[in-house]
């Protein structure tokens, strides 16, 4: 009795054919990992390359700030009172732009805007990157645990996430930052500049991890039922191996994208906090604080707001475009139209 057309084929003792062709001799066989393929796609993306270069320049400037100070010959704290007029406004055109002071001088205090922006870039990028890194690590650990373990672990992490999302960020920051500062240093003590930076990063960390946690949890829930996870369980792997060797490599792509899009949001967030006076405080140079100070000179000295404003705009735009390009490279199916 012949059961099906398959039968004859099955019974024919076909030995292994259809193996990959033997590679030309002399060429080593090295597989290209999905990550390497994504990098290749990123290289071919013009937006990614341009914004990547812009970001590299920003990073280089921030890192080399002391070197630039030496070459430029002006310190961010020096006040050039002799170059201000009687109203405290800088002499000359466009806010005192000159060969010595490329972007002009601050009204009233007379500090050099260019070098303050170089150092402000440092503050901004440090705060944004540190906050993004901490929130991503917290979010990944919380999300991967909630997604894989499920049950009560998932429920508890879900409650904490909802709680953190329900707190209004700016009201919380307005209430907490001055209180914490007062608690540590009292009303009269001088507050070290680094302290505010740490407080701002902590405030971001408390609120920022929830988005990543939800993203990662969703990804892991969909991966959990895949057969390779079951195969790893059947092999008897440990929980850390399962979470960080089996699952994490498969959620890298969305994590990287959310990280690269989180950084610019922290740049603007930090500037907003500084603008409200609860972020970075003088004398630490900072974009948000500079823009805040420039507002009162908007009519008298419009050049003051122009340079920091345009720089922060370029920085955030470059980050966002790069993040989009990164997403396209990691997931070719969601290409920009």
Partner 1 sequence: MSPLLEVKGLTKHFPARGRGSVKAVDGIDFEVRAGETFGLVGESGCGKTTTGRMLVRLLEPSSGAVSFAGRDITHLRGRALRPLRKDLQIIFQDPYASLNPRHTIGKIVAIPLQANGINPAGGVRHRVQELLELVGLNPEHYNRYPHEFSGGQRQRVGIARALALGPKLVVADEPVSALDVSIQSQVLNLLRNLQRELGLAFVFIAHDLAVVRHFCQRVAVMYLGKIVEVGTRAEIYERPQHPYTRALLSAVPDLERLDAAGRIRLVGDVPTPLNPPSGCRFRTRCWKAQERCATEEPALVPRDGGTQQTACHFPETGPLR
Tell me how far, at minimum, the Cβ of 233 lies from partner 1, in Å.
6
Paired tokens of 283? 């004398």
CB of 143 to partner 1, least distance (A): 18
Phi-psi region of 32 (alpha: psi -120 to 50; beta: other; left: phi over 0): beta
Minimum CB separation of residue 13 from partner 1 in Å reads: 6
Mark 237-276 with x for binding to partner 1 (rule: CB under 8 A) and - for no binding. xx--x----x--xx-x------------------------
Q: What are phi and psi of 31, to 5 degrees?
A: -70, 150
Would you state the torsion angle of the CA atoms of residues 78, 83, 87, 91, taken in this order, to the nearest 10 degrees?
Answer: -130
Instruction: Select 65 or 215, whichever has its Cβ closest to partner 1.
Output: 215
Angstrom distance (rounded) from CA 253 to CA 257: 6
Burial of 149 (0-12, 13-18, 19+ CB in 10 A): middle
Q: What gap in Å lies between CA 229 and CA 204, rounded to an integer?
A: 34
Residue 151 half-sphere exposure, CB side, CA atoms within 13 Å?
Answer: 2
Rounded to the nearest whole angstrom, what is the least distance from the CB of residue 248 to partner 1 in the complex?
9
- Among 53, 60, 167, 231, contact with partner 1 (rule: CB under 8 A): 231
Number of residues that bind partner 1 (CB under 8 A): 44
Q: Is 235 in the site for partner 1 (CB under 8 A)?
A: yes
Does an H or E element contain 45, and which?
A: none
Q: Which stretch binds partner 1 (CB under 8 A): 16-24, 192-200, 263-271, 273-281?
A: 16-24
151 is an interface residue for partner 1 by CB under 8 A: no
Q: Which of 85, 189, 230, 282 binds partner 1 (CB under 8 A)?
A: 230
Q: Kindly provide the residue ranges of all beta strands, DSSP E only, lying in the chain, ordered along the sequence.
A: none
CB 330 → partner 1: shortest distance, Å?
12
Q: Does 31 bind partner 1 (CB under 8 A)?
A: yes
Site of interaction with partner 1 (CB under 8 A): 1-7, 9-20, 22, 29-35, 226-228, 230-238, 241, 246, 249-250, 252
């Amino acid at each position: 009795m012949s059961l099906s057309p398959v039968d004859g084929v099955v019974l024919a003792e076909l030995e292994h054919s259809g193996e990959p062709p033997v590679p030309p001799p002399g060429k080593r066989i090295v597989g290209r990992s999905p990550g390497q393929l994504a990098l290749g796609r990123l290289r071919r993306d013009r937006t990614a390359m341009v914004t990547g270069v812009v970001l590299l320049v920003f990073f280089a400037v921030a890192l080399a700030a002391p070197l630039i100070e030496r070459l430029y010959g002006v310190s961010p704290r020096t006040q050039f009172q002799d170059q201000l007029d009687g109203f405290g406004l800088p002499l000359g055109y466009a806010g005192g732009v000159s060969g010595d002071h490329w972007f002009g001088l601050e009204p009233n205090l007379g500090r050099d805007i260019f070098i303050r922006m170089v150092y402000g870039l440092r503050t901004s990028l440090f705060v944004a990157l540190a906050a993004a890194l901490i929130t991503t690590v917290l979010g990944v650990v919380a999300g991967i645990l909630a997604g894989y373990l499920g049950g009560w672990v998932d429920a508890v992490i879900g409650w904490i996430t909802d709680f953190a999302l329900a707190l209004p960020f700016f009201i919380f920051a307005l209430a907490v930052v001055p209180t914490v500062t007062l608690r540590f240093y009292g009303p009269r003590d001088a507050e070290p500049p680094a302290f505010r930076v740490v407080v701002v990063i902590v405030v971001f960390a408390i609120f920022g991890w929830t988005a990543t946690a939800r993203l990662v949890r969703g990804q892991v829930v969909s991966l959990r039922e895949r057969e390779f996870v079951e195969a790893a369980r059947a092999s008897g792997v440990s929980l850390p191996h399962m979470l960080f060797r089996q699952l994490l490599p498969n959620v890298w792509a969305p994590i990287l994208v959310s990280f690269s899009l989180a950084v610019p949001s922290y740049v603007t967030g930090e500037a907003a906090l500084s603008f409200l006076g609860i972020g970075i405080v003088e004398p630490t140079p900072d974009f948000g604080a500079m823009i805040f100070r420039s507002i009162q000179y908007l009519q008298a000295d419009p050049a003051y707001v122009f340079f920091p404003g345009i720089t922060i705009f370029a920085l955030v735009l470059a980050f966002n475009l790069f993040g989009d390009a990164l997403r396209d490279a990691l997931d070719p199916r969601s290409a920009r139209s």
